[in-house]
Chains A and B, each alone.
Chain A
Amino acid sequence: MPINNMRINRKAAVYLLCAIVLIFAVVQAQQKKLPPDYQKKMEAISKFQAGVVPLFVLGDLNEDGVVDQEDLKLLRAYVGHPGSAGISCLAAADLDDNGSINAHDVTVLEQVLSKGAVKAPALSSHSRLGCDFKHFFIAALPQGHAGSPVPIHFLDQRFNTQNSTASIFAGPATVVSNHGAFMVQVARSAPAGTIVTVSITLADQQKYLYSFRVAPSPGS
């Protein structure tokens, strides 16, 4: 068998794998309440470790990239008359992370905005209330384990580990760049429940803070 044919076959196999992933994604998109372009976004996520999810900006209800008075207005409107007009990321409105949107979330956002526009918003992985992920730019594991790495991946091709930075803002961990991602290495001695916060500055100088819990050892 000529070697060229072998190469062609290998390529075909690679395309086939991509196609299979896409087909599965399409099938799933029909069964779950999913964001627009889910299959495309799922394909991007598929490259990463199982469990890695896209992050959204907490408080950025309209996903315009900033947390400001416009978001507070949308939140107040939603609490007064539940409806999602103008809100593309309802999960971002759940600032107290209790699974529902209410007056307490308004209070929290008011406090967040009390000193003006937020310079470095928080990122969250808890998207159980739904989010369009218009701002589909970064992904990470929702929690870590002592002694294990928590990867932070870029979903937007404009950003990479060369033009962006990540550092530990708080918590027992270190950050290294590895294979196009930042790896947050949680200390072996980190107790369960500890919060690790990572400061991420993208190429456009926009800064975010991502926090995750250190989960207990398996089974506990």
Chain B
Amino acid sequence: MAASALWADFTQQSYGQRKLTLLMIFTAFSAAIVHAQKPPMVDVGVVVPQDVITGEAVSGSIVVNPDGYANLPGLHVVKGQIPGVAGSTPANLLSNYSLQIGSGAATPADHPFSFTVTNELPIRIFRTGGRADEGWSTTIPLSPISGQSFPAPKTFSLPPLNLAGALQRIHGPFSGDCNRTVIRVNNLPAKLLAESPRGAYCFLPSDLKPGPADWTIHDEQRSVRLRSWVLALQMSADKLKLMKGESTAFHVYIKGVETIPQEAWFGSGAVPDFMDPAIIQKFLPDFKPPSPSQPGVLVLTLENMSVGTVTMSGGNKLALTFGYGQGKYEHHGTLTATRSGSFDIDGTLIPFLHDQPELVDNTVSGGNNNDNVGNPPVHTPSPSPTPVATTDKKKKEEDCPQRGKGCVALVIDLSHNVTWEFDMESLSKKLTAAGCDTDYVAPDLVEIPLPQTYGYEGVASYTTKPDPKDQEKAREHNTPEWNKVREAVAKHQEKVAKGVELAIEIVNGHGGPKGAAEILACGNWEWKEYTGDFLYRARFHEGNYRAANKNVCGWFTSDFSCYGGLTPKVVDELENLTTSTCSQASAVACPNHAGWEADSSTSTATNTETCSNGSIGWQKSYIGDPLDAEIDRRKGLPAGSASSYSGLIDALRTKAGESSTSRYADRGYAKDKPPAHTHGGYDQP
């Protein structure tokens, strides 16, 4: 049998989660064994809305997997048990039961029920046609609020992306009575779970295909139409069981994204319904949901649940971000077995897009009452989201939002006062001459005296004993010098975050290799023992990335130090995975790129080696030459004329970003299609 993936939808509560597993086979066998014996008691639950107000009509449902609803915001779940029925499955067990609210009429237990809110909900579930005691009765205390604590929406809206068969929350002025509500998606019925006058929960039809989903909501006398898009998350691996040391490719495809129109690609500023913020925090600690004025994103998280068996390329926890017009919404990686066995990879798709409003050109029979409820026009955010690529060739291509906003540069020259090392003063002057607002910081660091042994043959060797006062004096001298560096970094990041066309950072000094401690994963600059302090590469570049991300047209950084390949490595990681661990393999996730048209990073050394002093001297030309060309070009411009740095950005990406001992370069979040990443001089885990 050809190797193929086996996929199972374990849950509908977590948006778009899929698992790759062999364990499902065993689950199926064990289920068959169980059914051959006396049916056991089965957990059930009563699900009702939390937002209940005395006197209002609300609706709920009986469910067979109550734990799956326990943590869903907006829902209240009360658990109980009923006897299983021989030959039934969880899907049809409730069809054998009826329910009764108080002394009302019995209704099928597998249909939603409605009731008028009081202080409690007496409910009885019993076997249809069975003994009276065969079932479960309970009285659910409610905490109704008599006032108007829950704001009543005037219009309907729903999240823009859905998954076939998954639970969906719709905000809107519903009646609360499920008997009066009909929801259809692409003309297929959506099963209601719960409803209040402020919103409804329903399951999408399970056989929806990826692509646009047209919703019609009929409730009492009104009908409205909405549009969303159904996605499918498909994961597969070439092999599902590996021998120790064996590898397999795995593939993740997000289907249906390409049908989402540009106007839907804006953030909401919030975490999606049913998504635990802790999950996002786990994968993307510094992630902030994009606001309604910012481009929206899809975040795909992949987690290796079998870390004892396989390792996943890029790390065991991956978060990939996708944006509008990216072309391909997929990820391909490698799993390598550390011991023989099967494996389990979790994939979760988290959309950070704004809710979809009612459509105003409503053509649903029966009309709608948009005018009566003050329905706003179709959401038209401003500014437009920046497409990764446009498919409309007739439309004039959008330019970088920061075009014409100038260039800012930071040069940290830790070698300026070191006799036998090249400094960056000349490069700093070139940056200024090229029109860049340049902060050049060259700390005057003195060496803290340390014990040193000198041997003279024929006489006793001696070891110097530095005076603690001299050591303290050196530290006191160096502290304000280090403060200058930190202040310059903060000032630079502040300037970049305001939006500039080109952001540049250059560091020259003594670089350290990757260290064991997490904070030293990307090494550091300078030694605390000799100068009293140091800079962490990872923190420095991470801060610059956060400042530059979507705030620049081009971002360039260069590291003139030993083990400097850790700089392009961490930039590669930040640019695609938004993390800075220096332990991830290169990945491609272009929406995470900081710059609109280019990002590049270079170093004079690899990430595992030192470099020659001379290489620092001559590799300065990789930056100096483009700057000279920019200086010459600007000399030819009329005084005061606005000028773009596009040429310099491109030159830094091509000349510097593709020539240095180690380098990373991409073509920015808007232009990297197809992705064209240059990387070299640093290893791949």
Contact = CB atoms under 8 A, between A and B. Distances in A.
Interface of A: 17, 20-21, 24-25, 27-28, 31-32, 34, 42-43, 45-54, 58, 67, 95-99, 108, 111-112, 114-116, 118-122, 124, 126-128, 143, 169-170, 192-193, 195, 197, 199, 207, 209, 211, 213, 215-220
A83 B529 CA distance: 32
Contact of A50 (B462, B465, B524, B616): B616
Contacts of A197: 453, 455, 461
For the complex of A and B, 5 pairs with smallest distance between CB atoms: A46-B614, A120-B457, A218-B512, A209-B455, A122-B454
A49 B611 contact: yes
Contact of B457 (A31, A118, A195): A118
Given A50-B610, A219-B524, A209 B456 contact: yes
Contacts of A43: 614
B399 interface: no
B447 A128 contact: yes
19 contacts: A20-B618, A25-B617, A28-B422, A46-B612, A46-B614, A50-B611, A97-B452, A98-B467, A108-B462, A122-B455, A127-B419, A143-B530, A209-B457, A215-B529, A216-B529, A218-B523, A219-B515, A219-B536, A220-B529
B417 to A, nearest CB: 8
A5 to B, nearest CB: 22
B527 interface: yes
B528 interface: yes
A217 B456 contact: no
Interface of B: 417, 419-423, 425-426, 446-447, 449-459, 461-467, 470, 510, 512-513, 515-517, 519-520, 523-524, 527-530, 534, 536, 561-562, 604-605, 610-618, 620-621
For the residues of B in contact with A, the DSSP-based class is loop
B626 to A, nearest CB: 15
A49 B617 contact: no
Contacts of B536: 219
A216 B561 CA distance: 18
A203 B81 CA distance: 94
Contact of A115 (B458, B465, B520, B605): B458
B449 A98 contact: yes
Contacts of B470: 98-99
B456 A45 contact: no
A31 B418 CA distance: 11
B446 to A, nearest CB: 8
Given A32-B419, A51-B562, A219 B456 contact: no
B524 A48 contact: no
B126 to A, nearest CB: 69
B449 A24 contact: no
A43 B618 CA distance: 11
B455 A34 contact: no
B614 A21 contact: yes
Contacts of B613: 45-52
Nearest to B520: A219
Contacts of A47: 612-614
Given A31-B425, A114-B459, A121-B456, A218 B513 contact: yes
Given A34-B419, A49-B611, A215 B452 contact: no
B453 A211 contact: yes
A53 B453 CA distance: 18
B528 A120 contact: no
A42 B612 CA distance: 12
A118 B417 CA distance: 33
